[in-house]
Amino acid sequence: MSKTIAGFSKLSKSKKIDWIVDTYFSNAEDAKAILKQYWNTNDNLQQLHDEFIENTISNYYLPLGVAPNFLINETLYTIPMAIEESSVVAAASKAAKFWLERGGFKTKVISTTKIGQVHFIYKGDFEKLKQYFGYVKSKLIEDTEAITKNMKKRGGGILDIELRDKTSDIDNYYQLHASFETLDAMGANFINSCLEQFAKTFKNEALTFDLFSESEQQIDIIMSILSNYVPDCLVRAEVSCPVEELGEGNNFSGKDFANKFIQAVNIAEIEPYRAVTHNKGIMNGIDAVVLATGNDFRAVEAGVHAYASRKGRYSSLTHAKVEHGIFTFWMEIPLALGTVGGLTGLHPLVKLALELLHKPSAKELMQIVAVAGLAQNFAALRSLTTTGIQQGHMKMHLMNILNQFEANAEEKLTLTEHFKNNTVTHSAVIEALNKLRVSSEK
């Protein structure tokens, strides 16, 4: 029976595990053995993992795969991908090889501005508030110099601060809307530290501002926090080739393939039900690289989906066209990423992944990640508009089903061969496995 516990965080790891397995599991020893099975045998490495988060009881593994043959701006990459979903790495690799022979991927960073806001309540005259902001703006920047010193040396820092009137949405609600350049750092801690200092200075200086009445001096700071919506931190990725080169490996001519592919993209541009799944496929590629490189995939997801809705309706992130006989498929996407700070200097596999990618700058990583998303979407749409998505996906899923039913090496070999020419479904695999086991018993 579940029960509450006081002081759980102060318990040792072994005591935490004892309480968990004794409270929630019918076989405490089996549960404990599974948790310990995933501990790292290197004590120092395990301690490093234990200290990433709170109340650690074990490690949770995801496969780390690679997709080779990505030609991006004339440089070849093998892209690391951490993901559990079958066929994602295979699809990315297939798309990379397809475009390798057609000039590869072209990318560029459009902008890298990030945003943070101080949200506050002010119940006085807006004209006075504007005058106060004009007076205090330089002081806001001055008071953050200890925080921004090193960032400014590298060419980054605070770009601007604006006063925004949001009283049409919430009574007496205003913002300090600040823009930042954080270079190779994702910059969350830097931005939040600046914002908290802005808030402190903004509130304190108001107490002695001559134009304010006593009540107007009482500015109520609600919160100070960066935004994961980064519509001005944009990267573009695209591929293009003559239409006739698209027909290779399909039962379609290049022209027919291009027409059907563009129609599929057009549907995702106007139909939210399709757009969500369409963009989820893009994020299969993006999230896998973001995870492998120690970045925050939740922040990326939130920002990307907000961007997909920026025109008032959720829509496709990718676009396609044919002009003058040239097929072009492209995407502009907001990505706030870092190659320094966070886990990038701590997690051994993250450091390995970044070295695999030629130790990229944040701008270079933005381009690589965008390409992974574009490639994934191309592969998915190519399957959907030709053979169908399940043919390739279920063949990749076959091994998961066989492992679920504890197939041995010989059974896996036999059934992999069998399903080269037969449709893979969950029930078909179980039936074939049972038949194989019955025949082997005779």
Q: Which string of DSSP letters, residue by residue, matches 330-352?
A: EEEEE----SBSGGGGT-HHHHH
Q: Give the phi and the psi of residue 5 in degrees, each rounded to 5.
A: -145, 135
Measured CA angle at 298 (ends 295, 299), to 5 deg: 75
Which of 18, 85, 125, 411 is catalytic? The answer is 85
Identify the CA nearest to 230 among candidates 300, 286, 297, 172.
Answer: 300
Rounded CA gap, 147 and 224, in Å?
16
- Per-domain residue ranges for the chain? 8-50, 64-110+233-387, 114-226, 393-441
The predicted pLDDT at position 424 comes to 79
How far is residue 146's CA from residue 193's CA, in Å, rounded to a whole number?
10
How far is it, in rounded angstroms, from Cα 342 to Cα 344? 6
Domain range 114-226, CATH class? alpha beta
DSSP bridge pairs for 206: none
Chosen CATH of 64-110+233-387 out of 3.40.640.10, 3.90.770.10, 3.40.50.970, 3.20.20.150 = 3.90.770.10
Contact 107, 236 (CB under 8 A): yes
CB-based burial of residue 370 (10 Å sphere; 0-12 exposed, 13-18 middle, 19+ buried)? buried
Residue-wise burial string across 94-114, b where 16 or more C-beta atoms lie within 10 A, e elsewhere: bbbebbeebebbbbebeebbb
Identified catalytic residue from 200, 280, 319, 363: 280
Residue 341: predicted pLDDT: 86
> What is residue 82's three-state secondary structure?
strand
What is the predicted pLDDT for the residue at 389? Answer: 56
List of residues 6+ apart from 237 with CB closer than 8 A: 105, 106, 107, 330, 331, 333, 367, 370, 371, 373, 374
Amino acid at 292: A
Look up residue 383 and give its two tokens: 């399957």
Query: So what's the pLDDT on residue 403?
Result: 83
CA distance 199 to 129: 15
Cα 219 from chain centre: 36
The catalytically annotated residue of 49, 119, 393, 397 is 393
Residue indicated by tokens 């139909």: 271
Contact call for residues 281 and 376 (beta carbons, < 8 A): yes
Specify the pLDDT at position 297.
Answer: 96
From the candidates 143, 181, 296, 364, give the one annotated as an active-site residue: 296
Q: Are strands 326-334 and 234-242 parallel, antiparallel or unpaired?
A: antiparallel
* pLDDT value of position 242: 97
> Is 332 annotated as catalytic?
no
User: Which residues, 6 or more positions from 419, have their beta carbon under 8 angstroms from its beta carbon?
Assistant: 395, 398, 428, 429, 432
CA 375/CA 414 separation, integer angstroms: 32
The per-residue pLDDT for 410 is 85
Q: Report pTM.
A: 0.88
Instruction: Please say if 426 is a catalytic residue.
Output: no
pLDDT at res. 415: 85
Q: Is 441 a catalytic residue?
A: no
How many whole angstroms separate alpha carbon 429 and alpha carbon 399?
Answer: 10
* pLDDT at position 272: 97
pLDDT in tens, the chain (442 residues): 568 999 999 999 999 999 999 999 999 999 999 999 999 999 999 999 999 999 999 999 999 999 999 999 999 999 999 999 989 999 999 999 999 999 999 999 999 999 999 999 999 999 999 999 999 999 999 999 999 999 999 999 999 999 999 999 999 999 999 999 999 999 999 999 999 999 999 999 999 999 999 999 999 999 999 999 999 999 999 999 999 999 865 577 999 999 999 999 999 999 999 999 999 999 999 999 999 999 999 999 999 999 999 999 999 999 999 999 999 999 999 999 999 988 888 999 999 999 999 999 999 999 999 999 999 999 999 999 987 655 555 656 687 788 888 888 888 888 888 887 777 787 888 888 888 888 877 6
- Token pair for residue 150? 């090193």
Which pLDDT score is estimated for 390?
Answer: 53
Q: Is 280 a catalytic residue?
A: yes
